[in-house]
Amino acid sequence: MNGFKREIIQGQPLRAGEREIVPEAEVWSLQAKQIGLKENNASGGGAWWSWSRPTALIERGPDGARRVRVNDVNLQFEIALLVAASVLPLVLTIFTHWANRSTD
Amino acid sequence: MSEPAAGNPLIENSLNEFFATFERAQSSASIDNVYGQPITYGESIIVPVASVSQFFGVGLGVGANQAAGGPNSGLGGGGTARVKARPVALAEIMPEGVDIHPVIDENRALTAGLLFAAWAVFWATRTLIKLFK
């Protein structure tokens, strides 16, 4: 089916003594395909993209369940720079207007 | 649209394969790509963790002419695919708990840092020019 999809999937649990560790990941996928049918011929095309990223390890033991988050520090750093790069022009433009107005 | 194309074996097979390719692609987005094979190290179990992106595109054309003079058919197609995996962390499962060790991609951080620095220098210069003009 065409469209965008996001799902959380869990893998096979790993055993470590009395504890059970369940890996969890998030999958984003996008699919687009189309087929054209005529009397004696058919043509079509499509594309599919997916991005899977780890989210957490779920630790289940005798003393309950605990969720250990998996952070992608490289992605977090890039997002932080992207936000800073978007805010910087705004801040400097406002500063320029303010400085020019105060010197008038 | 008329039905005969769907009754032609060549066209039917090609279409079945086309849809099967998408089903195979969907099933390939498995959690096993994100969490690698566990490695036992002493009392600990190490699990490599990665972020995986996959892409493929495909196109096809099938023609089957059953006109007088005999069957005349042809099939053509093409496609491209890309799979990219980046290490994110190492998960260490110890008897006393789970520990996540992030993997820092220095090249990627440096590239992003340099691009940001260039962007910041551009805006700082532009601001100074506007202030002292």
ipTM of the complex: 0.80
pTM reported for the whole predicted model: 0.78
Distance of CA A62 to the CA centre of its chain: 32
Contact B15 A84 (CB under 8 A): no
Which of A98, A86, A23, A80 minimizes the C-alpha distance to A54?
Answer: A23
Question: Which of B14-18, B59-63, B101-105 is modeled with the greatest confidence?
Answer: B101-105
Nearest Cα of chain B lies from the Cα of A7 at a distance, in angstroms, of 11
Name the closest residue on chain A to residue B78, using Cα atoms: A45
Please indicate if any CB of chain B lies within 8 Å of the CB of A27.
yes
Nearest Cα of chain A lies from the Cα of B78 at a distance, in angstroms, of 9
Instruction: Work out the mean pLDDT of chain A and round it to a whole number.
Output: 91
Indicate if the pLDDT at residue A68 is higher than 90. yes
**B21 and B73 belong to one structural domain:** yes
Which residues, 6 or more positions from B25, have their beta carbon under 8 angstroms from its beta carbon? Answer: A48, A50, B54, B56
pLDDT tier at B70, thresholds 50, 70, 90: low
Nearest to B65 among A40, A42, A75 (CB): A40
Question: What total of structural domains would you count in chain B?
Answer: 2
Asked if residue A57 lies in contact with residue A27, where contact means CB atoms within 8 angstroms, the answer is no
Neighbours of A73 (CB within 10 A): 14
Please indicate if any CB of chain B lies within 8 Å of the CB of A71.
yes
Name the closest residue on chain A to residue B128, using Cα atoms: A96
Contact B102 A41 (CB under 8 A): no
**B41 and B93 belong to one structural domain:** yes
Please indicate if any CB of chain B lies within 8 Å of the CB of A34.
no
**B27 and B92 belong to one structural domain:** yes
Question: Which of A81-95, B3-17, B49-63, B70-84 is modeled with the greatest confidence?
Answer: A81-95
**B15 and B78 belong to one structural domain:** yes
pLDDT on residue B3? 46
Q: Would you state the structure tokens that stand for residue A64, as one six-digit string?
A: 């309950």
Asked if residue B58 lies in contact with residue B79, where contact means CB atoms within 8 angstroms, the answer is yes
**B95 and B115 belong to one structural domain:** no
Q: For residue B64, what are the domain limits?
A: 4-102
Indicate if the pLDDT at residue B66 is higher than 80. no
**B47 and B84 belong to one structural domain:** yes
Please indicate if any CB of chain B lies within 8 Å of the CB of A87.
no
If one compares A17 and A93, the residue with the highest pLDDT of the two is A93
**B87 and B114 belong to one structural domain:** no
**B98 and B109 belong to one structural domain:** no
Indicate if the pLDDT at residue A27 is higher than 90. yes
Euclidean distance between CA atoms A55 and A67, whole angstroms: 10
| Dihedral pair phi/psi, residue B2, rounded to 5° | -110, 165
Nearest Cα of chain A lies from the Cα of B2 at a distance, in angstroms, of 6
**B30 and B81 belong to one structural domain:** yes
Strands B97-102 and B39-41 turn out to be unpaired
pLDDT tier at B101, thresholds 50, 70, 90: very high
Strand ranges in A1-92 using DSSP code E only, listed in sequence order: 3-10, 14-16, 19-37, 41-61, 64-69
**B44 and B97 belong to one structural domain:** yes
What tens digit of pLDDT does each residue of A40-55 get? 788 889 999 999 999 9
Contact A53 B34 (CB under 8 A): yes
**B56 and B116 belong to one structural domain:** no
Nearest Cα of chain A lies from the Cα of B28 at a distance, in angstroms, of 10
**B35 and B47 belong to one structural domain:** yes
